[in-house]
A and B are shown apart, each in its own frame.
Chain A
Amino acid sequence: MTKRIRLATIIVAATSISAVLIGCAASSGSSSDKNSISVVGFSVLKTANEPVISAFQKTDAGKDVKFTTSYGASGDQARAVIGGLHADEVHLSLEPDMTKLVDANLVDKSWNQTPTQGILTDSVVVFLVRKGNPLHITSWDDLVKPGVKVITPNPASSGSAKWNILAAWAHGRAESGSDAGAATFVTKLLHNTIAMPGSGADALASFVAGNGDVLLAYENDSIEARAAGEAVDYLIPNDTLLIQNPAAVTEDASPAAQDFLDFQLSKEGQTLYAKAGFRPVIDGIQTEVPGVENPSDPFPKVKHLYTLDQDFGGWAKADPEFFDENSGTITKIISGLNIGS
């Protein structure tokens, strides 16, 4: 008899706690408000977006629109949205992350049918070096010389690393004329790599702390680091890869979200992004950019600019070909390095 009472007590206690917890979970779901925009973006946008948002709120379309923002590693952000994080607009580092959202039916298939092919911000892969460029690094070939210490994030965990490695690959292929030559060049480059941090931000922190001679980085990250007063210089090699960051409104986005995306793509929006170090995706933007190497020509034209679409057949082809967890070309090169043994 007493035993049964005890059992009953346990069950009552268990169910009541569960009920309370489930109640909490249910009430925390967020709802989409007509006049609010939830922006989910990759980490660098945190500072770049602030002036864009406040400028939008001064326009007729943006009056009374409230913003919530979330920034983090691009892949993490895409996964968070798939996992239920509410987003009206997503602005990611690279297309494969957007494809994940399309596959999850959160973003319409036609997201890239726009005048800019769904791209909101551009940048290029550059070399970040110590102030004054003490090792006189000017080209990709300088990076594979013996003793040069290179840092690039790990392509297995970082989107920015994929841009870096593909830029090196494109250079190696242009130089040698073959994929085998490209593989040799990338292997040499990775041999000179002394650290592979998990993300572009971690890599920058490691470099600023004194590690390495050269950091492969986004041009906009480098500009921001210099604008923040770090003792670094960056240089744009003669041939490098165009970085393209896609953005889209989600399927159940608030009406204001499309207005915001239009504003971001407008002359005013693109000028503000240019000030933060991003290359404009539309023509005719003239502005001062704090932190650039040459203020009279903030975004110098690259002699040979590789693009994912022309040189790699697009991300849909390149991502599995190079970065598949088991069979990707780069994955295999990193596996074959066997640095420790």
Chain B
Amino acid sequence: MTTAVLSQDTRAVGRGRSGVRSTLTRGSALGLGIAMVWFSLLVLIPLAAIVATAGEEGWRGYVDTLTNPQSWAAIKLTVGQSLLVTGINVVMGTLIAWVLVRDRFWGKRLLDLVIDIPFAMPTIVAGLVLLGLYGPKGPLGINVSNTRTSVTLALAFVTLPFIVRTVQPVLAELDADVEEAAASLGARRLTTLRRIVLPSIIPAIAAGAALSFARAISEYGSLVLLSGMLPYRTEVVSVRVLSFIEGGDRTAAAALATIMLGVALFVIVALDVIQRRMARRG
């Protein structure tokens, strides 16, 4: 989860050094050993197992999965909706972070606390809450259940905190003096925002966006009751994977999972590249 943020820190430190000489002391070697074993047991070995299972039928497993129209529809829906929701979060999340850091208003501390709730709630409960509010019996008279809008809504709900929480501390650390200096030198508000504030928070936005996207493509629980899981219309990849497992076709399930792993990796790397470019320009 925090790898994107962490790797930036180490890179920044590493850049100052000449060469890649190991700096391990005995204590830190022990730390590295423990970290690697833990990471391998939890992440590397299971992921390798998935890729190996998917490879049991060679490339055919992947081709079959990708050419299955129902799976392909699920991939398109999941990736499309995740990108859309991440885009929404980039705007709304940054806005919320800004409001929380820069403005003073009644109920600010409460809002700050409540932001994490979508993250802390069991996602099936989130789905139930959304169904109650935006379902057929909702008090607002808006019914989005069993439509694509319900997928957008559910994903936006569960991924809301990510960008807020990554941008917030960076904004708080930002020195107001620099902005004042820019203003006193005649920069307009928008220019200050574009030239001074944005470059500093872009890495945080990118890290948050990566987390938000990764969370969105894997979402299952909040969609169970809300989306209707209709093939071709509201069926997301995680549901499709579940169907494969229930049907006893583990190879297809693993192939689809591996494809999504590739998509996630691609988007996370792409966001990292964008963020580095922006950082260099700033």
Please report the C-alpha to C-alpha distance between residue A154 and residue B70 in the assembled complex, in whole angstroms.
13
Residue of B nearest to A8 (CB): B29
Would you call B70 and A334 a contact (CB within 8 A)? Answer: yes
Would you call A209 and B135 a contact (CB within 8 A)? Answer: yes
In the complex with contacts A154-B243, A194-B230, A325-B244, A17-B69 CB distance below 8 A: no
Would you call B242 and A157 a contact (CB within 8 A)? Answer: yes
* B181 within 8 A of partner (CB): no
Would you call B232 and A9 a contact (CB within 8 A)? Answer: no
Please report the C-alpha to C-alpha distance between residue A11 and residue B244 in the assembled complex, in whole angstroms.
40
* B267 within 8 A of partner (CB): no
Return the contact of B73 from the options A9, A75, A340 (Cβ within 8 A).
Answer: A340
Would you call B246 and A156 a contact (CB within 8 A)? Answer: yes
CB-CB under 8 A from A209, the residues of chain B are 128, 131-132, 135-137, 145, 225
* A5 within 8 A of partner (CB): yes
Q: Interface size (B, Cβ < 8 Å)? A: 42
Chain A: minimal CB distance from B241 (Å): 10
Would you call B232 and A197 a contact (CB within 8 A)? Answer: no
In the complex with contacts A10-B33, A13-B34, A5-B26 CB distance below 8 A: yes
Interface residues of B in 114-154 (CB under 8 A from A): 128, 131-132, 135-137, 145-146
Return the contact of B145 from the options A5, A18, A211 (Cβ within 8 A).
Answer: A211
Return the contact of A156 from the options B136, B233, B247 (Cβ within 8 A).
Answer: B247
* A136 within 8 A of partner (CB): no
Would you call A202 and B224 a contact (CB within 8 A)? Answer: yes
CB-CB under 8 A from B252, the residues of chain A are 325
Would you call B247 and A325 a contact (CB within 8 A)? Answer: yes
* A339 within 8 A of partner (CB): yes
In the complex with contacts A5-B26, A211-B136, A205-B37 CB distance below 8 A: no
CB-CB under 8 A from B32, the residues of chain A are 10
Interface residues of B in 217-249 (CB under 8 A from A): 224-225, 228-233, 235, 239, 242-244, 246-249
Chain B: minimal CB distance from A212 (Å): 8
Please report the C-alpha to C-alpha distance between residue A109 and residue B34 in the assembled complex, in whole angstroms.
48
* B38 within 8 A of partner (CB): yes
B-to-A contact residues, CB < 8 Å: 22, 24-26, 29-30, 32-34, 36-38, 41, 69-70, 73, 128, 131-132, 135-137, 145-146, 224-225, 228-233, 235, 239, 242-244, 246-249, 252
- Given A195-B228, A209-B135, A339-B232, 4 more A-B residue pairs with CB atoms under 8 Å apart are A157-B239, A209-B136, A325-B248, A335-B231
